[in-house]
Chains A and B, each alone.
Chain A
């Protein structure tokens, strides 16, 4: 990775477009995200947040434009998978494995041994709150909230440079939400992980993220560096929409 890219443009979206049966669901002319930035993505249902995430992860084909990760087009080059971790929904979990088996499997993809994984999991015992590990349950038998915890932790143990989470605060209890905020803030501070989070919880997202992107009907209509007024500004936007 060239030095300039590393610090400046970790992720770059260029004239990106997705059209479903005549409707443009995502249209982003130009967006750059620097290394170490934490970006929050907000917007009402149908604004195109998940579609955007899926395009960034090369899960759906872009109708125009490209997504560059560290300068490489994600659709042509798989190298982004080496440093990107994402959890969008339960479709990312192998649900017939136990959480431990799943973590070991994900770890093995990154050449991490079982001991490495066990050590890494040790940091998350508070986060799991004793409900996930050593319970002898398959992931499919866990509650939605606990599945979401498994998904988030499986991302973190990969030690990614880019982290994508779609509504990580949904389905989990308030204590865990606060723990999750701290974890995200920590990995960002310590490892300079570039983080993208979508959320409907304006409080949390303005707490965690240095930059907020507001989406409406596929367009990014606001790109704000978070400050004291951001929460108010967003609340104003969403209440006017009603």
Chain B
């Protein structure tokens, strides 16, 4: 029976309405995912050297044992955020003569097909084969492998169960991540506590207590059973969705009242963002990107040139414009007809988009002011890129938004969801990422990097001052394209 259900799932994939259209997108995505896994693989081959650098005073295997629990903590955090159980696909089977436990079994089996369950093996197998097997023998190798398998499965079913049990929103996730960060800081930097000692008790004593892996597998199986019975007793349409939410209350932002009609529209769009899974994740990604500079600025070599600050500045102040803007107006596809027929002028509609972009870019710029720690120069470049983003990139993004006819279902989750991804997004990324460097690099080659920065700033400002002109252009194009956009959004 489970195989029949799996076959149906397979058919559903190939016969879904947009298979034909999006096959190219899927191929590109598959390549990207393979690339990610390849990265993991490369990292895994050098894991022993990484560990040696991190813990020069420790042997590779004890260091590995000390870190493993951190990995699984991060793993569970990522799972909470990204992992989904394909529940609604079983709807048609609920009333047919299919025993409940088989449906639940199917749900459990199919949920295992996830990158999260593959990642630990890609990441750790080379290390286990290269170091553990020759140094500690086959028993240790098997013990580590089984324990990693057990912890992966435990995390898998635990996160599925907890996600259904309680409603964890993004703030809990951030708090949880902060706690992990704090643990690592207290542990490795200040040596106040030793969480790695806890990790070592879990993974460091296989030689003396040989039952540990079996114990872990038992725990994983126990978690599977909990999840199984929980699902089985809650296999009702209204209960399958993630845990219930409290009564909805409106949050109004008085600040936006100063901007008239566009302000109203922004307030509505903010509700769109924070009440729907996918845009919310897009914005959450922006929060992660705020720390993008850490990667570059910590490296003294990258810190000297202008490339790193320009690159980081563009992403840090503009990530919302890029990440959210690339799918405009698809976010509103489900009620686009309503927008077109209601009393909203195209001018106001576009003004609201510009206002939204400006607000987010400004917040990003202000929040990342602490980068001043790495020098005033960096903040200056960030500011120039901020001007560039709200001047040039907003217009660019909206220009492409007029050519985006793909519908997006807001309620679906963001992870590995390629709905609404099309050629527009790929083409858009080219001018978006390259244009500032087209301006900057020629002048740097001529030996005037400062002049390059000045031209960037002036261009950004010039676009800002002439905003009305670009707005009129965008509105004119929109009037021409609106039928196509609305038509595309109506296609389910």
Contacts and interface: CB of A to CB of B under 8 A. Distances in A.
Interface in B465-489: 483, 486-487
B101 interface: no
A13 to B, nearest CB: 17
Interface in B283-323: none
Contact of A93 (B335, B343, B345, B487): B335
Interface string B438-460: 00000000000000000000000
A95 interface: yes
B34 to A, nearest CB: 35
A92 B486 contact: no
B343 A82 contact: yes
Contacts of A81: 341-344
Contacts of A37: none
A78 interface: yes
B271 A96 contact: yes
Q: Which of B249, B250, B336, B342 has the most CB of A within 10 A?
A: B342
A176 B126 CA distance: 68
Given A94-B268, A136-B247, A138-B248, A59 B341 contact: yes
A105 B118 CA distance: 47
Contact of A95 (B264, B335, B341): B335
B334 A95 contact: yes
Chain B, interface SS category: helix
B337 A59 contact: yes
Contacts of A101: 250, 271
Contacts of A84: 341
A91 B247 contact: no
Contacts of B276: 96
Nearest to B250: A101
Interface in A96-113: 96-98, 100-101, 105-106, 108-110
Interface in B402-424: 410-411
B111 to A, nearest CB: 25
B275 interface: yes
A86 B248 contact: no
Contacts of A137: 248
Contacts of B410: 96
Interface in B235-272: 247-250, 261, 264, 268, 271-272
A90 B336 CA distance: 10
A56 to B, nearest CB: 10
Contacts of A217: none
A136 B343 contact: no
B343 A109 contact: yes
A207 interface: no
A57 interface: yes
A89 B344 CA distance: 19
Contact of B338 (A91, A100, A138, A140): A91
Contacts of B73: none
A90 B490 CA distance: 11
Measured as residues with beta carbon below 8 angstroms from the partner, the interface class of chain A is 20 to 34
B340 interface: yes
A108 B264 contact: yes
A90 B264 CA distance: 22
Contacts of B345: 78
Given A91-B334, A97-B271, A58 B340 contact: yes
A148 B159 CA distance: 38
Contacts of B247: 136
A51 to B, nearest CB: 12
A100 B341 contact: no
Nearest to A110: B343
B337 A109 contact: no
A95 B334 CA distance: 8
A170 interface: no
Nearest to B265: A105
Contacts of A90: 334
A98 B250 contact: yes
B337 A88 contact: yes
Contact of A59 (B272, B335, B344, B486): B486
A89 B336 CA distance: 11
A54 B489 CA distance: 14
B253 to A, nearest CB: 13
Contact of A60 (B248, B346, B487): B487
Nearest to A101: B250
A206 to B, nearest CB: 27
B275 A92 contact: no
Interface string A45-67: 00000000010011111000000
A132 B336 CA distance: 23
Contacts of A109: 261, 264, 342-344
Nearest to B346: A78
Contacts of B248: 98, 136-138
B250 A92 contact: no
A224 to B, nearest CB: 28
A24 B342 CA distance: 28
Nearest to A91: B337
A65 to B, nearest CB: 15
Contacts of B275: 96, 138
Interface in B176-221: none
Interface string B342-356: 111110000000000
Contacts of B338: 91-94
Given A78-B346, A96-B275, 20 more contacts: A57-B341, A60-B483, A60-B486, A60-B487, A61-B483, A81-B342, A82-B343, A89-B337, A90-B334, A91-B490, A94-B268, A94-B335, A94-B338, A97-B268, A97-B271, A100-B250, A105-B264, A106-B342, A110-B343, A138-B275
27 contacts: A57-B337, A58-B340, A58-B341, A59-B340, A59-B341, A59-B483, A60-B486, A81-B344, A84-B341, A86-B341, A90-B334, A91-B336, A93-B338, A94-B272, A95-B334, A97-B271, A100-B250, A101-B271, A105-B264, A105-B268, A108-B264, A109-B261, A109-B344, A110-B343, A136-B249, A137-B248, A138-B248
Q: Please give me the 6 A-B residue pairs with the lowest Cβ-Cβ distance, nearest first.
A: A136-B247, A92-B338, A109-B343, A96-B275, A91-B337, A61-B483
Interface of A: 54, 57-61, 78, 81-82, 84, 86, 88-98, 100-101, 105-106, 108-110, 136-138, 140, 158
Interface of B: 247-250, 261, 264, 268, 271-272, 275-276, 334-338, 340-346, 410-411, 483, 486-487, 490
